[in-house]
Amino acid sequence: MTSLRHRVAADTRYVLLGLPMAAASFTLTVAGVSAGLGSAVAFVGLPVLAATAAMARNFADLERAALPGVLGHPIARPRYAQAPAGAGTFRRMMNPLASGQAAMDLLHAIITFPVSLAAFVLGAVWWAGAVLGLTFPLYGWAIAAIPGVDGGLPALLGLGTGTVPFVVFNTLAGVLFALTLIPVLRIAALLKAGVSQSLLTRAHDPALDSPSAAAWVTVR
């Protein structure tokens, strides 16, 4: 039971809190790439593109830190090229663009927003449906008494009019949401995590499942 609560909490946190970060990453990355490409001819845009790539790498590191809690195993961080010893200021400034992974980080910042939005909607709708539906007997009678409600959806489906069918129908809907909450959260979390894993990580090595290896990956 404890592991199940942990899984629900981890999936909920990842799905709901992932949207604000994805929105910020998408907005800043699109603005940075647009500004950088627009002024690249005059070379002014190159530092802008490099700064955008460095920012996308930071967002990617935040996402990589969240992935093990969803996937259930450590993940391997790709290698990023280091500036050569003795490199000049401009070369060091451009270094974030020297790694092939930089393109994947930028692509992830753009692609992950619609995926995160879809995952957020699934998680939010199912949590709201479960909570509001299961507690509907506490306030449903007041809604049924509002002029114009006229039985709501149960009446339209021919299930009867009045307060009792209205409250029972919506409560049963809440039970359905509650029964399917865990698999829907899992699907939403894995949908988002799958995109991130494919773009931001290397292939998983089973040797990383040991505690010492997991700590090594985190430090890197």
pLDDT digits (tens, 9 = 90+) for 78-134: 988 887 877 777 778 888 888 889 999 999 999 999 999 999 999 999 999 999 999
Of 181, 202, 85, nearest to 130 by C-alpha is 181
How far is Cα 68 from Cα 78, in angstroms, rounded to an integer?
A: 15
Q: Which amino acid is at 87?
A: A
3-state secondary structure of 148: coil
| 8-state DSSP, 208 | G
| Domain definitions of the chain by residue range | 2-219
To the nearest 10 degrees (0 to 180), the angle between helices 2-38 and 45-71 is 170
Sign, CA dihedral 76-77-81-83, equals: negative
3-state secondary structure of 94: helix
CB atoms within 10 A of CB 149: 13
Confidence (pTM): 0.82
pLDDT tens over the chain, length 220 residues:
568 889 999 999 999 999 999 999 999 999 999 998 887 666 778 889 999 999 999 999 999 999 999 999 999 999 888 878 777 777 788 888 888 899 999 999 999 999 999 999 999 999 999 999 999 999 888 887 777 666 666 666 666 667 788 888 889 999 999 999 999 999 999 999 999 999 999 765 555 454 544 443 443 4
DSSP string computed for 33-60: HHHHHHTGGGTSHHHHHHHHHHHHHHHH
